[in-house]
Amino acid sequence: MTRTCRMSFELLATDGKARRGRLTFPRGVVETPAFMPVGTYGTVKGMLPRDIEAIGAQIILGNTFHLWLRPGTEVIKRHGDLHDFMQWQGPILTDSGGFQVFSLGAMRKIKEEGVTFASPVDGSKVFMGPEESMQVQRDLGSDIVMIFDECTPYPAEFDVAKTSMELSLRWANRSKIAHGDSSAALFGIVQGGMHEALRMRSLEGLSELEFDGLAIGGLSVGEPKEEMIKVLDYLPGQMPSDKPRYLMGVGKPEDLVEGVRRGVDMFDCVMPTRNARNGHLFVDTGVLKIRNAFHRHDDSPLDPTCDCYTCKHFSRAYLHHLDKCGEMLGSMLNTIHNLRHYQRLMAGLREAIQQGTLAAFVDAFYARRGLPTPPLD
């Protein structure tokens, strides 16, 4: 079967392990390293599509599991696809639903065929396997499709992680077959818990299947940061250099910097949007908690270095007032700022890699936070 992928990846520059690249789709270009805002239910919470574009995002993430359960693909297909339904015409990556099923805990039963679980929407019995996940993502019109996998829990002993990883490899093969001749990019997901031998076996098996890109899954699931860094110290550099590398669900600014230093190209996380709704705002010096009483009389912007709509128009005192009153505009303005902060960080990283000045950029990033630069293995 002949298949043409509508995504291309070009590596433009390197600085140490860090990579500056470009993903090209019919729907647009994505400069990497890139951060993808999360649009779980077909919306990035608190953001209009024009706002997402204005903060500099070039690609967003949609959630296969939740969109499949509600509103369902038949509703979405009547509009065309997910791009038309939510009025975002840039590229969309959809996760496979594997992590959401994993998050259901005791509500789900995992077998070779797939996973049976009680719908969190109405309690009905639902089944999802690799074939179902691929069909849903095809119906959504995804530009990047993720394979269906089992997210290995933390902590997991070697034998438990091995069984889970091997199941994910078999599901990866079924996902590849079910994806068929679709021109959407298909990414494999490396699993194996915190065990290097299992991670490398997973990578080997996925490489044999020749996916269009590879992701690192099973991190940011409760493990200490030191454990995550251990995996990132050896894994990205073993991945094919001609394909994009995606670190799933990892997202403090410091984590993005450390991932980029180790060769990761793509990131997503709900942290900037979720934290915005809770009044935790990312600024150049760290995190600002807008609910603190001393912001009540502060007429300065959130971050004088930021060019977002919020920072150009509103004071900390106003944002503090909105938060205290529970006004939805507060969450919206906070979200605009946090997502723009992330996009500015990624743009700075891209420029530093291009210029060969990443080490100086990273040193300055940590110095503004009053922190030492972590060592790089």
pLDDT of residue 141: 99
Q: Is the confidence at residue 1, as pLDDT, over 70?
A: no
Please identify every residue annotated as catalytic: 95, 268
CATH superfamily of 8-269: Queuine tRNA-ribosyltransferase-like (3.20.20.105)
Q: What is the mean pLDDT of the chain?
A: 97
What torsion do the CA atoms of 102, 106, 108, 109 make, to the nearest 10 degrees?
110
CA distance 14 to 2: 32
Prediction pTM value: 0.97
> pLDDT digits over 251-276, tens only?
999 999 999 999 999 999 999 999 99
CB distance 119 to 69 below 8 Å = yes
pLDDT of residue 104: 81
> pLDDT digits over 68-103, tens only?
999 999 999 999 999 999 999 999 999 998 888 778
CA distance 73 to 148: 18
CA distance 213 to 179: 14
SS3 content of the chain, % helix, strand, coil (to 5): 45, 20, 35
CA distance 62 to 85: 12
Where do we find the tokens 């915005």?
276
First to last CA, the chain: 42
Domain ranges for the chain = 8-269, 276-368
Nearest to 16 by CA among 201, 229, 233: 233
